[in-house]
């Protein structure tokens, strides 16, 4: 029998993040969206949980725990959750697929007490949800590789110290570690987005960047790029589950208090059924995400389950966000309520494949 009963360690971690999310992150979400940036104090609070640094510790990488905690962060704000997921994706790839030298050189960089960002760059400006369409290419040279291409929607691109760049190499996908300061790497202007506005996402251009052979993730052994992609899909599924939970937990008390034609809105049969469906779909999203994360953690091929979770969560998170706006009526479009922001964030998260990981 499959069981997703949380361990005591997972319950403690979940409780810690829930407390942070409710006390500090949720109240700061609207201001971050308005200013289109996340205050360093908030990033440091997320860092202080130890979620990100734990990826670099022996036995600290756990896709299941990461998915659990990213959901809790997303209940507060999706941008804050992606801010944690971006370096988690980078560190997780290095910790599980990097060579001994890469782990030794890179993982200690993230052991400090201040937020530090690194990213996984998969998406491209004309990305069509098909990784085989990636055009960024790495050509073998005598010294290593020459990388050229462009990646889009990279969170905190200007602040990242390193990127893991997925590119075509010898007819197959491969992954390379690129320093932000490397010659030929340039970050474009911050892109104005409808949702996740606080993430300061931008395009990163790689113009004939010369890389040593040691820049290839895993070096001679190479990397399983599909697992990096699966990790990203699971992380985004967890974040969409969290945002859906936020919508559901907001509209339920609202519809119980809102009186229409002499009775609470929640007592209307149509609304009651929709609320029930929101709960059912949110739970289903969570179970699918946890199942995919569990498979990934066991080292088994998680591609099918990760894709199913990502697709299911994308479709139902948008339905839940739309229902949340509709249930608030005209108020659902006002910035006085957070539902309009969650709707915008959900739309953006659902097309952000490849920018994060668990």
- Tabulate helix, strand, coil % of the chain (nearest 5): 60, 15, 25
Given a cut of 70, the residues of the chain with pLDDT beneath it are 1-3, 127-132, 354-358
Supply the Cα-derived Rg of the chain in whole angstroms.
20
pLDDT tens-digit profile of 216-240? Answer: 999 999 999 999 999 999 999 999 9
- Answer yes or no: do 193 and 283 share one domain: no
Q: Does residue 160 sit in the same domain as residue 255?
A: no
Domain membership flag for residue 104: yes
263 in a structural domain: yes
Looking at 206, 221, 236, which one is the last position of a domain? Answer: 221
Same domain, residue pair 269 and 342: yes
The label of the residue with tokens 């509709």 reads: 326
Distance, CA of 238 to CA of 81 (rounded, Å): 9
- The pLDDT tens digits for 139-165 are 999 999 999 999 988 999 999 999 999
Q: How far apart are alpha carbons 92 and 320 in whole angstroms?
A: 30
Q: Domain boundary at 199, 221, 243, which?
A: 221
Evaluate whether residue 358 is within a structural domain: no
pLDDT, position 157: 94
Report H helices in the chain: 8-20, 26-35, 40-48, 63-76, 78-97, 100-106, 225-257, 269-297, 303-327, 339-349
Residues 157 and 129 in one domain: yes
Q: Count of domains in the chain? A: 3
Same structural domain, 132 and 34: no
Q: Residue 135 domain-assigned?
A: yes
CATH number (domain holding residue 201): 2.40.110.10
Same domain? 166 vs 231: no
The CATH number of the domain holding residue 104 is 1.10.540.10
The whole-number pLDDT of residue 319 equals: 97
233 plus 344 within the same structural domain: yes
Question: b/e string for 26-49 if b means 16 or more Cβ within 10 A?
Answer: bebbeebbeeebbeeebbebbbeb
Q: Within a domain: residue 356?
A: no
Residue 243 resides in a domain? yes
Please report, for the domain that includes residue 340, its CATH number.
Answer: 1.20.140.10
Q: What is the C-alpha separation between 346 and 248, in angstroms, rounded?
A: 13
Q: Are residues 215 and 251 in the same domain?
A: no
Of 186, 221, 256, the residue at which a domain comes to its end is 221
Q: Are residues 199 and 264 in the same domain?
A: no
**Quick one: 200 and 258 in the same domain?**
no
Q: Tell me whether residue 2 is in a domain.
A: no
Domain limits for position 42: 8-110
Bridge partner residues of 187 (DSSP): 204
Q: How high is the mean pLDDT of the chain?
A: 92
pTM for this structure? 0.94
Beta bridge partners of 196: none
The CA distance from 313 to 237, in Å, is 6
- For residue 3, being part of any structural domain is answered with no
């Amino acid at each position: 029998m499959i069981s997703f009963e949380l361990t005591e360690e997972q319950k403690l971690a979940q409780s810690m993040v829930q407390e942070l999310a409710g006390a500090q992150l949720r109240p700061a979400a609207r201001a971050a969206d308005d200013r289109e940036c996340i205050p360093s104090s908030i990033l440091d609070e997320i860092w202080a949980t130890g979620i990100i640094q734990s990826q670099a510790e022996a036995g600290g990488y756990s896709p299941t725990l990461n998915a659990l905690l990213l959901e809790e962060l997303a209940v507060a704000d999706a941008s804050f959750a992606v801010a944690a997921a971006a370096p988690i994706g980078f560190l997780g790839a290095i910790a599980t697929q990097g060579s001994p030298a890469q782990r030794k050189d890179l993982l200690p960089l993230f052991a400090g007490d201040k937020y530090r960002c690194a990213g996984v760059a998969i998406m491209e400006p004309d990305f069509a949800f098909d990784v085989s369409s990636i055009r960024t290419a790495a050509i073998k040279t005598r010294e290593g590789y020459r990388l050229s291409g462009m990646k889009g929607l990279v969170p905190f691109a200007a602040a990242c110290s390193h990127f893991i760049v997925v590119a075509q190499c010898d007819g197959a996908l491969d992954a390379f570690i690129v320093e932000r300061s490397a010659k030929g790497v340039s970050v474009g202007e911050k892109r104005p987005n409808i949702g996740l506005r606080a993430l300061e996402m931008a395009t990163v251009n790689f113009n004939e960047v010369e890389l040593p052979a040691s820049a290839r993730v895993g070096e001679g052994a190479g990397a399983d790029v599909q697992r990096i992609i699966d990790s990203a899909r699971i992380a985004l599924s967890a974040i969409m589950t969290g945002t859906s939970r936020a919508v559901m937990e907001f509209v339920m008390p609202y519809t119980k208090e809102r009186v229409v034609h002499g009775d609470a809105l929640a007592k209307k049969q149509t609304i009651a059924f929709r609320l029930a469906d929101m709960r059912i779909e949110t739970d289903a999203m969570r179970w699918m995400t946890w199942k995919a994360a569990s498979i990934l953690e066991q080292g088994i091929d998680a591609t099918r389950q990760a894709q199913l979770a990502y697709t299911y969560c994308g479709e139902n998170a948008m339905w839940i966000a739309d229902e949340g706006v509709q249930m608030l009526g005209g108020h659902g479009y006002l910035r006085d309520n957070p539902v309009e922001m969650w709707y915008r964030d959900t739309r953006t998260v659902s097309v952000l494949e490849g920018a994060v990981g668990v």
